[in-house]
Amino acid sequence: MSDKVEIYTDGACKGNPGPGGWGALLVCQGVERELWGGEAETTNNRMELTAAIRALAELKRPCEVHLTTDSEYVMRGILEWLPNWKKRGWKTAARQPVKNADLWQQLDEQVGRHRVTWGWVRGHTGHPGNERADLLANRGVAAARAQKKHGV
């Protein structure tokens, strides 16, 4: 694993649920790549997860990744809750189905392809990578709203 990649992700939702977007900034050897997308009806947590999944999926070979998010949900899920969810067959401690299990499973699969370390930053505090990811997520929201408006 020679490639070192910095990834910054963010999700956004106007209404929860409502039109949402995700954004990711990938930086490798000084080269930047911006990714974004959106969904007409989704939640903020789903967009936060989607940003991380799509960013990791974009990497064509195993990499050493430092992924920075402003989502406590993603951080706690990946670092604290996921191992037990898997042991319990995707059930919570209260034996309820895990919310967004489809996306958590996809994220788990993508993380397994790389060596990922995780970082958390408080959103909207001027962190350059997080601010860029936020702009991209909002671009995704705008695209989702336009699709919804035009019935696409």
Please list, in sequence order, all residues whose beta carbon lies within 8 angstroms of the beta carbon of residue 87, skipping any fewer than 6 positions away: none
Residue of 23, 39, 134, 140 marked catalytic: 134
The answer to whether 10 is annotated as binding is: yes
Active site residue 70: yes
Please list, in sequence order, all residues whose beta carbon lies within 8 angstroms of the beta carbon of residue 12, skipping any fewer than 6 positions away: 20, 21, 22, 23, 44, 47, 134, 137, 138, 140, 141
The answer to whether 131 is annotated as binding is: no
The DSSP bridge partners found for residue 26 are: 7, 33
Residue of 20, 23, 48, 77 marked catalytic: 48
The answer to whether 80 is annotated as binding is: no
Active site residue 3: no
Active site residue 10: yes
Task: Extract the annotated binding site for Mg(2+).
Answer: 10, 48, 70, 134
Per the annotation, where are the binding residues? 10, 48, 70, 134
Residues annotated as catalytic are: 10-11, 48, 70, 124, 134
